[in-house]
Amino acid sequence: MDTSMASGNPFFDDLQNKGEAIDHPQNEDIMDCESLTIPSQAAVKPNGTVSSSVRELLECPVCCNSMYPPILQCLNGHTLCSGCKPKVDNRCPTCRHELGNIRCLALEKLAASLELPCKYQSFGCNGIYPYYSKPKHEYQCSYRPYGCPYAGSECTVIGDIPHLVAHLKDDHKVDMHNGCTFNHRYVKSNPHEVENATWMLTVFSCFGQYFCLHFEAFHIGLAPVYIAFLRFMGDNNEAKNYSYSLEVGGNGRKLIWQGVPRSIRDSHRKVRDSFDGLIIQRNMALFFSGGDRKELKLRVTGRIWKEQ
């Protein structure tokens, strides 16, 4: 924080004038966010406003994120968050003086008196929350945007479900289907060359919701396998209302999987690495494919239903 920002603010003028009298705190004085006295509930309070100048005072000049205890300051009163202290080699990013371990307790107390809107306000959240309770709310806010569920690339697009459905269709050219049953055929001319390859994502619309069917080749240890699983385009608490089954087979044999779709809040990799789906060993998949077992020809069928 530049000293010019504090000009005209009695709190910071006084802080700067008395900066040399501030003692370095002992280790027992260092506290985290939970040790402050803050409201116990993040109650929604309409019409709460905080001026932009106050928000700027609580913004770290290094990472530009909101600061939380311990908020540090140099002898001249410039502040920064504790997480950025190692990044600046223990020197104030504004005046380059050594930082030490001086706490800006007054700014921490000021923050405790504030109430701010959720950062997902533009997505529909109208709540106003105490400064120190806001991060916890935002971590689980039902309005927070979803990440793109497409696993074939490191896509960084975020948004609500209608936006992501349009994005999958228009940008990733994903197959879109209506209905709660499916019958898909996966073909690969030389499956032995497939290494950690995501092959296909298909989106199904049923019960007024959207579901993503993934099919992928990867390894469990050294063993090459295929996995198919379903993800729900919504939150986990809604996903639990649905179930699905997958079936694959050939030559008189079949494998069947039944499960609950995971929310797209859980990454594709997290679901895959937890083996939460229909897993088919490569040798078994080639046996199902028939012929000379040099070409993969798998037919995966399944259905989605809503639990009563």
What is the structure's pLDDT at 2?
A: 42
Amino acid at 88: V
Query: What would the pLDDT profile of 151-200 be if each residue is shown by its tens digit?
Result: 866 789 999 999 999 999 999 999 999 999 998 887 777 666 655 455 67
State how far the Cα of 58 lies from the Cα of 128, in Å rounded to an integer.
17
Segment holding 14, helix H or strand E: helix 10-17
CA distances to 39, 45, 49, 140, 260 from 126, in Å: 19, 9, 12, 14, 31
What is the structure's pLDDT at 188?
A: 74
C-alpha torsion sign, points 178, 183, 188, 194: positive
pTM equals 0.69
Q: Cβ-count burial of 300 within 10 angstroms (0-12 exposed, 13-18 middle, 19+ buried)?
A: buried
* Beta carbons of 191 and 226 less than 8 angstroms apart: no
114 phi and psi angles, rounded to 5 deg: -95, 155
252: left (phi over 0), alpha (psi -120 to 50) or beta: left
Question: What secondary structure does DSSP assign to 78-113, as a single string?
Answer: -EEEGGGTGGGTTB-TTT--B-TT-B-HHHHHHHHT
State how far the Cα of 304 lies from the Cα of 182, in Å rounded to an integer.
9
Domains and CATH numbers, the chain: 52-140 (3.30.40.10), 146-306 (2.60.210.10)
What is the structure's pLDDT at 20?
A: 37
What is the structure's pLDDT at 137?
A: 94
Question: What secondary structure does DSSP assign to 242-298, as a single string?
Answer: EEEEEEEEETTEEEEEEE-PEETTS-HHHHHHTT-SEEEEHHHHHHHH-TTSSSEEE
CA distances to 11, 56, 108, 245, 296 from 76, in Å: 14, 18, 17, 65, 69
* Beta carbons of 262 and 276 less than 8 angstroms apart: yes
- Low-confidence stretches of the chain (pLDDT < 70) are 1-51, 152-153, 190-199, 291-293
For tokens 């699905």, the residue is 244
What is the structure's pLDDT at 285?
A: 86
State how far the Cα of 39 lies from the Cα of 194, in Å rounded to an integer.
54
Cβ neighbours of 286 (radius 10 Å): 21
CA angle 227, 229, 232 (to 5 degrees): 160
State how far the Cα of 189 lies from the Cα of 284, in Å rounded to an integer.
16
